[in-house]
Amino acid sequence: MKRRKYTIGIDFGTLSGRALLVDVETGEEVATAVHEYANGVIDERLPDGGPPLPPDFALQDPADYLRVLEVTIPEVLRAAGVSKDDVIGIGIDFTSCTMLPTFADGTPLCFDERFRADPHAWVKLWKHHAAQPEANRLNEIARQRGEAFLSRYGGKISSEWFFPKVWQILDEAPHVYEAADRMIEAADWIVWQLTGLEKRNTCTAGYKAIWDKEAGFVSDEFLAALDPRLRDVIDTKMTRELHPPGTRAGWVSPEMAQRLGLSTDTAVAVGNVDAHVAVPACTVVEPHRMVMVMGTSICHMVMAETYRYVDGVCGVVEDGILPGLYGYEAGQSAVGDIFNWYVEHGVPAYIQDEARRRGLDVHRLLEERAAALLPGESGLLALDWWNGNRSILVDGDLAGVMLGYNLSTKPEEIYRALIEATAFGTATIIRAFEDAGVPVDDLVACGGLPGRNRLLLQIYADVTGKVLRVAESSQTPALGAAMFAAVAAGADAGGYDTIQDAAARMARLKSDTYRPDENRHRTYARLLNEYAKLHDYFGRGANDVLKELRRVRANALAAKAALH
């Protein structure tokens, strides 16, 4: 009998890292271990103290990432009783754009006493939003110069992305910028730590650092137009050599093999983004199927063989999700967050009491009551912009809207209308894809929400008119990372030569299939038509009341601050 072989996928999230040991042959998830970052999200003060951080800073400590490796890898090996010799590969996925400045040998600047007190020497987490001024100037200059790359990103580069963050370091801490030999995504940095080799991936480069397989990075002239000192940043602090997902970056270095209890024969895959690595873990390795990572927000991914301009998508990157295909990414900035907001701030005592009496989670009780309603029965319709609109309006200044209240409107009606609104948001994204010539044949959901809310899944099927299935794994990013690790190891070592082969064996869907009901779909089509009218009316400038409310609010807050 053949010895079973394993890979380890490591998913670096916002608050913790998770290792998953997977049987390469069957995809069985044999063991898992989670380690919370000691310093979590650093948004008030640096770990050593010092003055309060400026607003919108969100930093992390790279030592926390190393600690995840040190804690979780030995733990899954021990728990599974698996020998290090049977671990043929390691893959990692990371939040992105999460980036840091390092010295030439990969040591983070914040590990050096000379720089430790400077916030800009630390990791800038994906949700560090303090580079908004740089993003605004970058977009303005790109528009003035007619830079073609804008069209690949829905017309706008986000403050969360790589160059605004690099530029902020240069603006606010030029000595840190100067001292940094490398500016690198955390995903690539951790692979460097594992292998000793700086091998960067196409995925984070494409989605976050304005890289394109054909056009390459932005031009040095464009960078010089931002700031002359940025002209050579790509060649001096980054690299133009990039590797698609599944590429083997190298093997676990002898030093790391020692530290983590691994073999130096363990292949390491190049880094990847958490959402994207979930795609093959959802069994999706072909064009025109939409993967939705559903949690506090939704990330939508579709692949296609050709490039199409899709209005308002977050990014289109060749080899960005899987080698050989264009990866399209879109998103909704709040989904589960809206339901959580409602349960926290909008659910009356009588619902809370009933939930407590019946030993039910409030979400479950609301779902149960909402499931008894027919589409349209509530008379309510909402725009799901509680945290702005990521796709397809790309406008963080929008806000939520609810229409149709009356004196007998019930909590479960509001809850259902909120779910429906997020489904209309997804339907609007699908429509944008299809209008642009990127068909979406069916939907596969993964993430935290699908496991908990069947009503939500049925509503998404009914609203979109597409069949929806759910990934079997509840930890698709880690599973996807383990699958890419199997590809990095290769078939000769007991892995696979392609991600398609890996997906065929290691990924699975649940047996439940959510099929659209024709009657419900017809009713939702009427409501979606109304949603679309309101979406354009409030979202495209015909009535900018949501912006005006924001301005009035900003004035009020300023007036209040002046009083104190």
Q: Which is nearer to a second copy, 117 or 403 (CB)?
A: 403
Q: Which helix (H) or strand (E) holds 505?
A: helix 499-506
Specify whether the CB–CB gap between 428 and 382 falls below 8 A. no
In sequence order, what are the residues at sequence separation of 6 or more whose Cβ sits closer than 8 angstroms to the Cβ of residue 196?
Answer: 250, 253, 255, 256
Neighbours of 28 (CB within 10 A): 12
Query: What distance in Å separates the CA atoms of residue 130 and residue 168, rounded to the nearest whole number?
Result: 8
Contact between 564 and a second copy by CB under 8 A: the answer reads: no
Contact between 557 and a second copy by CB under 8 A: the answer reads: yes
What is the maximal distance between C-alpha atoms in the chain? Answer: 78
Contact between 71 and a second copy by CB under 8 A: the answer reads: no
Contact between 401 and a second copy by CB under 8 A: the answer reads: yes
Q: Which is nearer to a second copy, 179 or 401 (CB)?
A: 401
DSSP string over 211-261: -BTTTBS--HHHHHHH-GGGTTHHHHHS-S-EE-TT-EEEE--HHHHHHHT
What the block records as the tokens of 551 is 């301005």
* Pattern 172-191, a second copy, x by CB under 8 A: --------------------
Q: Which is nearer to a second copy, 106 or 396 (CB)?
A: 396
Contact between 359 and a second copy by CB under 8 A: the answer reads: no
Contact between 533 and a second copy by CB under 8 A: the answer reads: yes
Nearest approach in angstroms of CB 217 to a second copy is 35
Q: Which is nearer to a second copy, 215 or 552 (CB)?
A: 552
* Pattern 319-348, a second copy, x by CB under 8 A: ---------------x--xx--x--xxxxx
Q: What angle do CA 163, 166, 169 make, to 5 degrees?
A: 150
CA distances from 428 to 43, 437, 464, 521, 543 (A): 34, 14, 9, 15, 19
Contact between 381 and a second copy by CB under 8 A: the answer reads: yes
Contact between 370 and a second copy by CB under 8 A: the answer reads: no
Nearest approach in angstroms of CB 559 to a second copy is 6
Q: Which is nearer to a second copy, 47 or 388 (CB)?
A: 388
Specify whether the CB–CB gap between 246 and 323 falls below 8 A. yes
| Binding residue count for a second copy, defined by CB under 8 A | 56
Contact between 545 and a second copy by CB under 8 A: the answer reads: yes
Q: Which is nearer to a second copy, 328 or 538 (CB)?
A: 538
φ, ψ dihedrals at 298, nearest 5°: -125, 135
The β-bridge relationship of strands 99-102 and 182-185 is: antiparallel
Q: Which is nearer to a second copy, 208 or 520 (CB)?
A: 520
Contact between 536 and a second copy by CB under 8 A: the answer reads: no
Specify whether the CB–CB gap between 90 and 262 falls below 8 A. yes
Q: Which is nearer to a second copy, 410 or 452 (CB)?
A: 410
Q: What is the DSSP letter of 212?
A: B
What residue ranges bind a second copy (CB under 8 A)?
A: 334, 337-338, 341, 344-349, 352, 373-381, 386-387, 399-407, 409-411, 519, 523, 526-527, 530, 533-534, 537-538, 543, 545-546, 548-550, 552-553, 555-557, 559-560
